Amino acid sequence: MLNETWKKLQNGSDIRGVALEGIEGQPVNLTPEIAMQIACSFGAWLSDKTGKLPSELTIAVGNDSRLSAEALNSAVTQGLSMIGITVINCGLCSTPAMFMTTVMEGYQYDGSIMLTASHLPFNRNGLKFFTKDGGLEKGDITKILELAQDKIYTRAGKLGEIRTIDFIQVYAADIVRKIRNKTGEEQPLKGFRIVVDAGNGAGGFYADQVLKPLGACTEGSQFLDPDGSFPNHIPNPEDKTAMASIQKAVVDQNADFGIIFDTDVDRAGAVDRTGREINRNRIIALIAAIAIEEHPGATIVTDSITSSGLKKFIETELGGVHHRFKRGYK
């Protein structure tokens, strides 16, 4: 059973804690040593789940732009190597990309760890875990923390290899390839001006490595450089200051569209050419309209907190079916 110290690190289906000092009343509880123990425990858990020896496993590790990222990444990779696992260090990456390391052809690693605390303040960090089946369940996280608390893992006689790759470049190229194949055009966004606001998180790649190759003009994009102190605004599409920033940029640049990401690029908001926010239910409505145009009568699956107005729009206006499901990655 978890004691209170370890229990505080669990945040549903992932792990979050205070990694840096700087905010009164928030003592550090996610140190590099703790992160190393958790990584070793994930390796032990994955070994048991897959039936493979640790020396037969390959796990990818990535991080967002947080100030504590480098220290925690080093601790996690060293910990996994210590128990014999081969580690693929992806460095600065996004959460969706880290999941793709487990399923993309030519990679298909046994598991992956993303170091992030999403949109939380600069002093926070955390760990998200993936296998080819998706994110872990709450019970899995509890089990991993129990293993970490009791240090139930074995140091290997031979260290696992640590390799470094630029996976975000691979991931971006795959997005471009898929869009080109779907549209049948080399530059389907030619003639469009699209502004990206990465909030100094991990999403800056999107402007130069996804939109530009597809033909878009991305001049006027802002806060693309990673900076874990988040000097301009909180990287959170639902934050009023952040949304006001991308709205202003779109209007000032006379852009056709704006996109704003959170720190680890698993959430986004959008802005139309007039500066109107397209977020939450509206962005799902926009995606649903595109999907149902291509697949008449399709079922649109959303999480459980979407509005009745969205359900009415999908079913009455678009002729689709709205199915609410559980929250979380799966």
Q: Is 229 a catalytic residue?
A: no
Question: At a CB cut-off of 8 Å and minimum separation 6, what does 294 contact?
Answer: none
3 state SS for the chain: CCCHHHHCCEECCEEEEECCCCCCCCCCCCCHHHHHHHHHHHHHHHHHHHCCCHHHCEEEEEECCCCCHHHHHHHHHHHHHHCCCEEEEEEECCHHHHHHCCCCCCCCCCEEEEECCCCCCCCEEEEEEEECCEECCHHHHHHHHHHHHCCCCCCCCCCCCEEECCHHHHHHHHHHHHHHHHHCCCCCCCCCEEEEECCCCCCCHHHHHHHCCCCCECCCCECCCCCCCCCCCCCCCCCHHHHHHHHHHHHHCCCCEEEEECCCCCCEEEEECCCCEECCHHHHHHHHHHHHHHCCCCEEEECCCCCHHHHHHHHHHCCCEEEECCCCCC
Residue 116 · residue 65 · CB < 8 Å: no
Six-digit token pair at 122? Answer: 């600069």
Distance CA 279, CA 81 (A): 41
Among the options 65, 112, 118, 221, which is catalytic?
Answer: 118
Query: Which amino acid is present at 328?
Result: G
Active site residues: 118
